[in-house]
Structure 1
Amino acid sequence: MTIDYTEFFSTEAKLRKASVMKMPVQEDGISLFTGLPHPDCFPIKGLSIDYLTPDSKFTKQSTLSIKDPEGQSGQGNVYEALQYMNSQGTSFFRKWCKQHIIDFHEPNYNNWDFLVEAGATQSTDAILRTFCDPGDLVLTDNFTYPCFVESCKPLRVEIVPVDVDSDGIDPKQMDEILSELTKKPKFYYAVPVGHNPLVA
């Protein structure tokens, strides 16, 4: 089942439109929209990486060599990694991530997708900007990720802390807070696993 979240979008998110970089190009045309450097501008055609192997419990070293096909300008993983890329990441990395999720996390529904981000702070900033306007409320653990708090401040999103212990949130206090709030919070930001300092 697909859920339509657009009713929860912030003003900023509602103002965003599809990128002009996605404008169609005629079959024989050359797009100048994206400003992609010509493949011949990249002097790197291959990479070699030494790494410690997981199957040896990270005690033995192996070498991975990647080389783009010769005579095929603008083809291959090295070229794609060096070139301006889709905001969703390189195609080969997305393929690996998707297979990893299937193999190790086994989603129990089919209509799922994922985003590749630079880290938790970029992710929380994107979520806050998508769903929150200045003055909106978000609930969070009273011990929470400091960069989440840091992301809320410049966006003028108000944080309402909720007590937590090693079993999770305090439901009694959550009920009291929700009863007393004059406006509905946008969401609850929680650290569900590996919570420091609550979990050793």
Structure 2
Amino acid sequence: MAAVGTDTLVDWISGFRDAVTEKREWLTELDSAIGDADHGANMARGMSAVGEKLAAGTPATVDELLKTVGMTLVSSVGGASGPLYGTFFLRMGMTAGAVTELDAAGLASALRAGLEGIVARGKAEAGDKTMFDAMAPAVDALDAAIADGADLSTAARRAADAAAAGRDATEPLVARKGRASYLGERSAGHLDPGAASTAILFDTLATAISGSS
């Protein structure tokens, strides 16, 4: 697969909606240990709203599609996850531009912009025990795979694997950002819920791309 069209991106977004809805209780359980116990509910509600928005009509271009997702999340999700995920998709859309498909370099550039948007909003760094710890390795892995000549499907799966490893690596960390940071040393021993949903985000991206290949 040489490029990702809007139909594949819709498959990704729909798959992410279905996955966070299915894993809602697990995400909430993770968040109940070190946060406000609302991450699962917030993500499921936000992505359900996205699904309803797209069911009314799919935007024709990548930028409009991703901006629609971002704005819907910002307006419908409470807590930190709405602004962060909303910013991620908004920045992706701004970078993608008014095109109908993204080649490997274009997808990587859009995802990198999404990551940078999250950093700008949340000020997170590696090891802070946040979604950054899953997303940054995923974006780096995608870039590395593309540079090595991997096809999009392979590159996306490597990114998903890196996100999952990043998620797992948050368990022993002491949180330095967000609600979890209030717990200090007691935050260690728990997966970060934002990193967990980020791993789902990249897993569903890889699944959507492989399904379209």
Same fold (TM over 0.5): no
Q: TM (normalized to structure 2)?
A: 0.28
Q: TM (normalized to structure 1)?
A: 0.30
Structure number having the greater strand percentage: 1
**Rg larger for:** 1
Structure number having the greater helix percentage: 2
